[in-house]
Amino acid sequence: GYDKRLVENVEYLEALKSLAVREGIADRVEFITSCSTAQRNKLLSECLCVIYTPK
């Protein structure tokens, strides 16, 4: 999961957000760093696309 105490997590999330802005899609992208299993299942059933970025 996402741990905001880890600098690399924070930096990577900011880089992804900047990329979304630069590509003109920020208004159509939602970054969710952590969620419950129930919320994850609901989101997956309703989404158009998922990008999973484990590092």
pLDDT of residue 55: 61
Cα–Cα distance measured from residue 55 to residue 45, given in angstroms and rounded to the nearest whole number: 25
Contact 26, 20 (CB under 8 A): yes
Does a structural domain hold residue 2? no
Helix %, strand %, coil % for the chain, to 5? 55, 0, 45
pLDDT of residue 42: 95
pLDDT of residue 52: 80
pLDDT of residue 18: 98
Does a structural domain hold residue 53? no
Mean pLDDT of successive 10-residue stretches along the chain, which has 55 residues? 91 96 96 91 90 74
3-class SS at 6?
Answer: coil
In the chain, the number of structural domains is 1
Cα–Cα distance measured from residue 43 to residue 37, given in angstroms and rounded to the nearest whole number: 10
The reported pTM is 0.76
The domain containing residue 40 runs over which residues? 7-46
Contact residues for 8 (Cβ-Cβ < 8 A; gap 6+): 55
Does a structural domain hold residue 19? yes
